[in-house]
Copies of this chain bind each other. A is one copy, B any other.
Amino acid sequence: MKVIITGGAGFLGRRLARALLDRGTLAGPDGQQRAIGEVVLLDVVGHPGYDDPRVRTVTGDIASTALLHDVIDAKTSSVFHLAAIVSGMAEADFDLGMRINVGAMRNLLDVCRGGRQRPRVVFTSSVAVFGGELPPIISEETALNPQTSYGVQKAIGELLITDYTRKGFIDGRALRLPTISIRPGRPNAAASSFASGVVREPLNGEEAICPVSPDTRVWLASARAAIDSLIRAHDVESEALGIRRALNVPGISVTAREMVAALERVAGTDVAALVRWENDARIDRMMNGWPGALDDTRARALGFPADENFDAMIRQYMREEGK
């Protein structure tokens, strides 16, 4: 099995690589678990060192067709396409978002077509494909109605995954991942960055600004659940998915207020007091344009993992980060 991870130096990409190397196998074309012989990590930024002969790191622009042809060949069985311009950045720099989230994705899918086998392609979509006046329950059949350029670009990605799969070019799976919380590290340009910051910064003894109104509802998953979902999405049989290739990945639904209350229960009043509520209209509007909960019935039935609640997600983060 030759596995490609785009965005391989990113937060999810590094964790996915680690998980695949530890696990050692993925489902092959016949559905049987096969040994992973090579993991190619592709990213525009540099990679951390890997002391594993199965790993090859490639630094370059994913929008380059030549680069894609260099890494994706006839032996490539699996592609995890995680590389993307994040939501806030795609809104601020429209052309960059289009170039990577639409243009590079098209190139990637076209290069995948060239091989002898139909590679399994796992694409990370987003809840940002939904928006506008939403029904109380967002099923997988709810109309795509993105309110941001990021959401539009991810919706286009889903349409392409479905059509390339229908045509028999690839065996695609599009995952509407919840917002990952709690990410270690520093804030990023994603509008949802606060969903990690309001826990991470106070646990570091730093003040955190919550830019959304307390009743803003967000749909969250831990990094561990997200990684397990990516692997499950790869391994689930094509027939079990049928023609519907976009999946609502399981998550939990909490408001910003409930997140801070959970932090107070787990880490104490002094820590939770480090959260300062300071509304940022732009971020508030973007986040309230995304759905706060999805119907994840199909993914759960297909064996996708789910987190228990936000208290458990905070405790898991503290264990992993040695807090």
CA A259 – CA B141 in complex, angstroms?
33
CA A155 – CA B144 in complex, angstroms?
10
Chain B residues with Cβ below 8 Å from A156 are 156, 159-160
For residue A158, give the distance in angstroms from its CB to the closest CB of chain B: 10
- The complex is assembled from copies of this chain, and their number is 2
In A98-151, the 8 Å CB interface with B consists of: 98, 102, 106, 132, 141-147, 149
> Which of A94, A144, A159, A162: most chain B Cβ within 10 A?
A159
CA A202 – CA B46 in complex, angstroms?
68
Instruction: Tell me if A152 and B162 are in contact (CB < 8 A).
Output: yes
Chain B residues with Cβ below 8 Å from A167 are 94, 149
**Is A163 part of the binding interface, using a Cβ–Cβ cutoff of 8 Å?**
yes
Give which listed residue, B98, B143, B152, contacts A144 with CB less than 8 A.
Answer: B143
Closest to A244 in B: B132
Interface code A154-176, partner B: CB below 8 Å = 1, 0 otherwise? 01100110110011010000000
CA A94 – CA B106 in complex, angstroms?
13
CA A106 – CA B132 in complex, angstroms?
24
Give which listed residue, B132, B142, B152, B162, contacts A163 with CB less than 8 A.
Answer: B152
Chain B residues with Cβ below 8 Å from A160 are 152, 156
In A39-67, the 8 Å CB interface with B consists of: none
For residue A54, give the distance in angstroms from its CB to the closest CB of chain B: 34
Q: With A98-B106, A152-B160, A163-B152 as known contacts, state yes or no: A143 contacts B146, CB within 8 Å.
A: no
CA A155 – CA B129 in complex, angstroms?
13
Chain B residues with Cβ below 8 Å from A142 are 143
CA A146 – CA B166 in complex, angstroms?
11
CA A132 – CA B243 in complex, angstroms?
10
Instruction: Tell me if A155 and B149 are in contact (CB < 8 A).
Output: no
For residue A132, give the distance in angstroms from its CB to the closest CB of chain B: 8
A-B contact pairs, 25 of them (CB 8 A): A94-B167, A94-B169, A98-B106, A102-B106, A132-B243, A141-B143, A141-B145, A142-B143, A143-B143, A143-B144, A144-B144, A144-B159, A146-B159, A146-B163, A147-B166, A149-B163, A149-B167, A152-B159, A152-B160, A152-B162, A152-B163, A155-B159, A156-B156, A156-B159, A156-B160
